[in-house]
Structure 1
């Protein structure tokens, strides 16, 4: 992790720019892969969804998350259609579950529902969002590694399509609640397949030493199968699930995961006479945060994974089950960016005659904690004007009382950047609002949707009164 609680001088990369960050020929240029497809400069100012961002900042204030509705819908449709097409050509089917943990609010849930996707939720709160908009229960998957009795009861009462069981305690809890309600719970088992995708250790989720799922290598997975099958009046085993990590750019890891899951799938059919309908390969598809990243398209991911599943099914001697995937970041991540206003620009002297330029904005780790938490990289650009000055290496930081409060570790920004300028950080749709907090009692920003030249608030800005309303005097 490059952010360090003892201060920026302790971080990796101290000194000059990282090797992957190129010196820009035009400091005002937008890299298309980082932005919603509608993003462009008009008279030097950033325009997205037909809306001028300077005008949006004046109307709604900063910081603010801005989401391009049509871009979100187009990315959702690409997984629904382009990803699924190679499976359909092979006689298989795909269910696309939008991973609500990336970012969820009632309006986004409606967009997901409109586009014909399923919805993956992992808490009672996320399930409540689905309920509020009338999301069909059979299109909802309930996830989470420690679901409470109340959450399981709510899921069964709502008639969710499946509950992903994560532990033996949870299997027993689901069975007991289902019996009390007189229903049969549709259950999938989350299997730890021993595949570790190339990602940060905090978001890698398929190696053995972690909290999720039943280990395949230790025999836990088969014991979990037996535990569910032993309760036919309370649970129905409908499939197997795995998730190998996040921010993944190729399908190589899915190949090993699919092979191991399908061997278990075939074993269950042969030994227990249960042909499971579903195989969930999870999500974790990456997006471009910087020029270093080159994400695959939904069509390319679908073609690669369909070929893998077809080949591994043939090797295991089983028919192709219905495949599920869970994109979240890959749909909402690049559809959204964060607007900030510059408050201060400060130059500090470093060892060896070097200098660091710190650009402080009016947000920070309260609206994007990922840089401090994961050492995540971001890019940014000016919004309100096109500069004629040359590039200057800068570090964009927040306003919180924390040395690790860094938004963008390294970026070339105009040398004439000054207080009052507006900056936009792309790729903040996934996990930024979801992980937001009230550090230093700073209210969380609004989410503003843009489309066809119109802007509207879909999550209002939090107020100090909202924060104080929780205090009990």
Structure 2
């Protein structure tokens, strides 16, 4: 067990403090409806974790439906209000790559959002869920001719152009189909933002979009093609961004290009992307969406006023900030194991807590070193806070679910552990590594639960193996 003066504290990162209560649920990290009942059981969307596990097993990803809906509506209101103060308009696109199902599409449409997709599968999901094609934006650095033909034939509102080859491809397909396709040109502003910091350079070494100089040539070519309509620029500067400084610098650079391009015709739209951050741990302090919206839009309006140009319609593409905080993944503890670790002052002990999921249902810790928060979900722990590492069941030493956390020291096999803020990119990036079936996603709201993404079974995995049932 760990106290504030225990040598095991040397194993904890500086941002992780010993909690007064290792059962508490930090504000911003957990869904709006999360609480503990009189028995100490975690409740989300009016549903007890123990009851949900009895119905759906573990692992299971819970999504607080009302929280998702509320965040979508709040985001849409924030950007519309911010642009209205400057006499402009805003469009908000939900970034489907964060997590997309037909239910999520319908929640976004009901909240007034459009939908951003970046693959044929995401496009078909949005269309099948009833999204009007003209409310869909289609991203991707390598859209195939087949994907583009489907999008153009369906009447997708905007395609975000990413290369010169794609310009010719879109032009030829649209001409053959008798269509005039609206496009945005994606640009690299030389600004990259990450959390509360940003880096400004002359060039970015990455696969997406055109440099600011290249974009002028791309727009000139588009304007030569009768089957394509250039409607604006697109720029995305990063992910998990907490402040507005990076957006301000990027907007300044992109608006300089926007101003130059106005000589060739009207440009009604400017898409500044998304990347708004959320709290994964109590150390994270993201700005409220209203503050971000006001700061970004004010910066654009100031730049436009200084240049003597009108503020275009502004578009944004949040995903994580809408669905991420509403997600909670429940696991069952299988084993616990204290591990002695050498420190500069001697040795300390870290408790490894193994659960029945891992990198197949949330690869972000292994892929990015992402940090998460965890709590006991089936009861209120009685032990003093112990420094733990929650790890998965996969045959990989890097299979970490929560790298650093304090849980009650009496955590034991059979307990349920809940990991917060897993609504974005957990299910979306899940896999069958080690032949592990992907878990279900269950929406909870007002004391009711329903599966919105079916979990896989072993039979599902075996069904893909074409060698089974065939003679050797």
Per the TM superposition, whether the score is higher than 0.5 is: yes
Q: Distance in 1 between matches of 2:400 and 2:425?
A: 16
Q: Does 1:265 align with 2:258?
A: yes
Aligned to 2:241: 248
Farther off after superposition, 259-268 or 277-286 = 259-268
CA RMSD of aligned residues (A): 1.7
Q: Does 1:386 align with 2:346?
A: no
Aligned to 2:4: none
Q: Does 1:18 align with 2:13?
A: yes
1:216-227 → structure 2 map (5 Å cutoff): 216=212, 219-227=213-221
Aligned to 1:175: 171
Conserved 8 A contact 2:195-2:242: no
Q: CA deviation at 1:426?
A: 0.5
SS in 1 for 2:325: coil
What whole-Å deviation, never above 9, does each CA across 1:360-395 have from its counterpart, x for those lacking one? 000000000000100000010000111221000000
Conserved 8 A contact 1:200-1:374: no
Aligned to 2:77: 81
Aligned to 2:300: 309
Aligned to 2:182: 186
1:29-68 → structure 2 map (5 Å cutoff): 29-43=24-38, 44-68=40-64
Query: Which consecutive unaligned segments of at least 5 residues does structure 2 have?
Result: 1-7, 468-472
Q: Distance in 2 between matches of 1:452 and 1:198?
A: 36
What whole-Å deviation, never above 9, does each CA across 1:336-358 have from its counterpart, x for those lacking one? 11010000000122223222211
Aligned to 2:278: 287
Conserved 8 A contact 1:123-1:147: yes
Q: Distance in 1 between matches of 2:171 and 2:69?
A: 37
Conserved 8 A contact 1:50-1:452: yes
Conserved 8 A contact 1:206-1:244: no
Aligned to 1:8: none
Aligned to 1:159: 155
Q: CA deviation at 1:227?
A: 1.3
SS in 1 for 2:302: helix
Q: CA deviation at 1:82?
A: 2.1
Q: Does 1:126 align with 2:122?
A: yes
In structure 2, the CA distance between the partners of 1:207 and 1:339, relative to structure 1 (3 Å rule), is farther
Conserved 8 A contact 2:376-2:407: yes
Aligned to 2:141: 145
Q: CA deviation at 1:157?
A: 1.2
Conserved 8 A contact 2:435-2:461: yes
1:364 to 358, 361, 383: 358
* TM-score normalised per structure 2: 0.94
Q: Distance in 2 between matches of 1:96 and 1:401?
A: 41
2:448 to 412, 430, 454: 454
Q: Distance in 2 between matches of 1:226 and 1:467?
A: 50
Q: Does 1:328 align with 2:324?
A: no
Q: Does 1:346 align with 2:337?
A: yes
Query: Which consecutive unaligned segments of at least 5 residues does structure 1 have?
Result: 1-12
Aligned to 2:390: 396
Q: Distance in 2 between matches of 1:91 and 1:301?
A: 18
Q: Distance in 2 between matches of 1:452 and 1:350?
A: 45
Farther off after superposition, 340-349 or 461-470 = 461-470
* Matched length: 454
Aligned to 2:231: 238
Conserved 8 A contact 2:203-2:211: no
Q: Does 1:100 align with 2:96?
A: yes
Aligned to 1:420: 414
